[in-house]
C-alpha cells in the first residue's frame, strides 16, 4: 500500500447500487485507500416558519445555510471550511429550536449535497447508479488535516455523512487545469439524513466536536 498522498485532501467513501457495494476510487493515501478524491463539495439547508409574527419577529425567520469545503491539492488545511459548515448548520438548528419553543412548527428543507471530482475509475459506476436510479446507502466525505508530526496517519478535520439518498444528476465539463484540460464531473445527491462533525486540533490530535445531525421526518403512510 502506498504511503504518499494524491492531489486532493478531500475523500469520498460511497456505498451505492443494487446490491450496495463500495464505489472504488483512485485515492492511494494510507487510511483512504481506493476512496474517491474530490475537488470540492457543498451543501445547504433552510429553515422556514409559518407567517404568524410575534414581538420577536421569529415567526417568519428564514435561515439559509451553505457550506463549501475545498482544497485543490493535498496539504490544504480545511479547518475553516469545516467550522463555517458547523456554524451555518448550528444557526439553522437554533432558529428551528426557537420556533418550536414558541409553538411555531418550522419547515426544514435540506438542500442537495453537491460534489465535484475529476473523471476517474469511479465515474462509470457512479453514472450507472444514476442511469438505473439505484439507491445511495451512504456517502462519507472526509477532509483531512496535515499529518501531525510523529503521527503515522493523517487525521480527519471535517466529516460529512449523508445516508439514504440518491444521485439526481451529473454534469460533465472540460476545465483547464495546471497540466492541461481536465474532465470534471459535478454530482448532486439528495439524502434523508446528514451528520456533520468538525474536529479541533488539541495537542497532537484532532478531537471531534459535537456533531450537527439532521434526519428527515418519515413519509406519511
Domain boundaries, the chain: 10-50+58-215
In whole numbers, what is the pLDDT of the chain averaged over residues? 75
One of 3.30.450.20, 2.30.110.20, 3.40.50.2300, 1.10.1840.10 is the CATH number of 10-50+58-215, namely 2.30.110.20
Q: Which candidate, 189, 198, 129, places its Cα nearest to that of 160?
A: 198
CA atoms within 13 A on the CB side of 14: 27
> Which triple of cell numbers denotes residue 148?
501531525
What percentage of the chain reaches a pLDDT higher than 70?
66
pLDDT digits (tens, 9 = 90+) for 134-162: 999 999 999 987 665 666 677 888 999 99
What percentage of the chain reaches a pLDDT higher than 90?
39
On the question of pLDDT at 85 being above 50, the answer is no
pLDDT digits (tens, 9 = 90+) for 47-70: 776 644 343 443 333 333 333 333
Question: Can you tell me the distance from the alpha carbon of 36 to that of 23, in angstroms, rounded to the nearest whole number?
Answer: 8
On the question of pLDDT at 3 being above 70, the answer is no
Q: Which candidate, 185, 194, 172, 36, places its Cα nearest to that of 111?
A: 194
Cell 448548520 sits on residue: 89
- Cα dihedral 137/140/42/114 (nearest 10): -40
pLDDT of amino acid 11: 94
Greater pLDDT, 113 or 221: 113
pLDDT of amino acid 61: 38
153 alpha-carbon distance from chain centroid: 22
Per-residue pLDDT band for 41 (boundaries 50, 70, 90) equals very high
**How deeply is 51 buried, as exposed, middle or buried, from its count of CB atoms within 10 A (0-12, 13-18, 19+)?**
exposed
The sign of the torsion formed by the CA atoms of 56, 58, 60, 62 equals positive
Evaluate whether 167 touches 189 at the Cβ level (below 8 Å). yes
Per-residue pLDDT band for 170 (boundaries 50, 70, 90) equals very high
- What burial letters (b/e) apply to 23-50, b meaning 16+ CB within 10 Å? bebebbbebbeebbbbbbbbbbbbbbbe
Question: Can you tell me the distance from the alpha carbon of 83 to that of 79, in angstroms, rounded to the nearest whole number?
Answer: 6
Cα dist from 20 to 68, 139, 151, 160, 200, whole Å? 28, 12, 33, 20, 33
pLDDT digits (tens, 9 = 90+) for 182-205: 999 999 999 999 999 988 877 777
Amino acid at each position: 500500500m502506498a504511503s504518499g498522498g494524491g492531489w486532493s485532501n478531500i475523500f469520498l467513501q460511497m456505498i451505492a447500487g443494487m446490491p450496495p457495494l463500495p464505489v472504488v476510487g483512485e485515492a492511494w493515501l494510507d487510511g483512504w485507500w481506493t476512496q474517491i478524491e474530490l475537488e470540492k463539495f457543498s451543501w445547504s439547508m433552510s429553515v422556514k416558519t409559518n407567517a404568524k409574527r410575534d414581538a420577536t419577529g421569529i415567526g417568519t425567520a428564514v435561515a439559509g445555510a451553505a457550506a463549501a469545503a475545498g482544497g485543490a491539492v493535498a496539504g490544504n488545511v480545511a479547518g475553516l471550511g469545516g467550522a463555517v459548515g458547523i456554524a451555518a448548520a448550528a444557526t439553522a438548528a437554533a432558529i428551528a429550536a426557537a420556533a418550536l419553543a414558541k409553538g411555531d412548527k418550522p419547515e426544514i428543507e435540506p438542500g442537495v449535497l453537491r460534489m465535484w471530482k475529476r473523471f476517474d475509475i469511479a465515474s462509470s459506476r457512479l453514472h450507472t447508479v444514476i442511469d438505473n436510479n439505484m439507491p445511495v446507502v451512504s456517502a462519507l466525505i472526509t477532509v483531512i488535516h496535515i499529518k501531525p508530526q510523529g503521527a503515522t496517519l493523517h487525521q480527519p478535520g471535517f466529516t460529512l455523512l449523508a445516508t439514504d439518498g440518491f444521485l439526481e444528476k451529473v454534469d460533465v465539463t472540460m476545465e483547464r487545469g495546471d497540466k492541461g484540460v481536465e474532465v470534471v464531473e459535478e454530482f448532486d445527491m439528495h439524502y434523508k439524513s446528514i451528520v456533520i462533525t468538525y474536529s479541533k486540533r488539541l495537542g497532537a490530535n484532532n478531537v471531534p466536536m459535537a456533531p450537527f445531525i439532521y434526519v428527515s421526518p418519515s413519509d406519511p403512510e
